Amino acid sequence: MADDKPAIGMSSDHAGIRLRALLKDYVESLGFTVLDLGPNSDASVDYPDYGYKLAAAIAEGKVETGIAVCGSGIGISMALNRHPHIRCALVTDALMARLAREHNDANVIALGDRLIGDETARDCVRIFLETEFAGGRHQRRVNKLANPVLQV
């Protein structure tokens, strides 16, 4: 089983269902399994609920990595970053996906179905999954994200 790749958590709101399904197929074609957290109908839902579901799945150790989708990616990225264990990067191209991994050790990327094309989204996901964290000076900063001192 040494070649098994880890499971990837996925969630969206209703505006992200189409792209989430497309990216689920893509991630599976790359050899990963997917923990799909929904939603499973196109009824209107609230992006914080599905962002928090993915955050919880990562915090509980069910998956290490996630992909989140909403119309713009903005709302669900805000929700995910509420959790001190989540480092969610909203990305619009593969350069951002690479920097999010190398510098920020991002464990989730957020994508906006209304903002980027399908091939750009696949490219972001592939680079996100392939790229290693650079460590070094970046580790200290990542550590501070896990222990927010909000000064209020």
The footprint of a second copy (CB under 8 A) covers 44, 46-49, 52-53, 55-56, 59-60, 71-72, 74-75, 77-79, 81-84, 87-92, 95-96, 99-100, 103-104, 106, 112, 114-115, 137, 140-141, 144-145, 148-152
121, amino acid identity = A
∠ Cα 26 29 30 (to 5°): 95
103 carries an active-site annotation: yes
- Among residues 88, 103, 124, 138, which one is catalytic? 103
Write down the least CB distance from residue 24 to a second copy, Å.
22
d(CA 87, CA 72): 18
DSSP E strand boundaries for 18-122: 33-36, 65-70, 88-90, 108-112
Minimum CB separation of residue 25 from a second copy in Å reads 26
Nearer to a second copy, 23 or 50 (CB): 50
Nearer Cβ to a second copy, position 46 or 64? 46
| Half-sphere exposure in the Cβ direction for 117 (13 Å, CA) | 2
Q: Helices 17-29 & 118-130, crossing angle to 10 degrees?
A: 50
Residue placing its CB nearer to a second copy in the complex, 5 or 82: 82
Enumerate the active-site residues: 70, 103
